[in-house]
Amino acid sequence: MAKKSSRNTKARIVSAAWKLFYEQGYEETTVEEIIFESETSKGSFYHYFDGKDALLSSLSVLFDERYEELMQQPHDEMDCIELLCWLNQELFTTIENTVSIELLARL
């Protein structure tokens, strides 16, 4: 149970960070805002990340979480190609709604 809780904590931090990066930009977002938005503690933040820069490599965590959510949805009616197309569309939509073009260009 503790492993799931810790995964959720890290995922909440990552999700909050990328939400704030999208809304107000990377440079303008502070660690304190990420901690507040993720409803975690400073200790939890620094347990998983050395600082804000370390979050830049965490984008894959956000997409992995989204992929897991998508795979839990019913899709029995789709063949392999339809499923792959649907997953790609959903993930690209997630990217568009999560990461600004300006931020992506800087990664």
- How do the pLDDT tens digits run along the chain, 107 residues long? 444 465 689 889 988 998 898 888 889 999 999 999 999 999 999 999 999 999 888 877 778 888 888 889 888 889 999 999 999 999 888 878 777 776 776 66
Q: Each residue of 61-71: b (16+ CB within 10 Å) or e?
A: bbeebbeeeee
Instruction: Give all domains of the chain, ordered by start, each with its CATH number.
Output: 2-106 (1.10.357.10)
CA distance 74 to 5: 26
Q: How many residues does the chain have?
A: 107
CB 49 within 8 A of CB 55: yes
CB 17 within 8 A of CB 34: yes
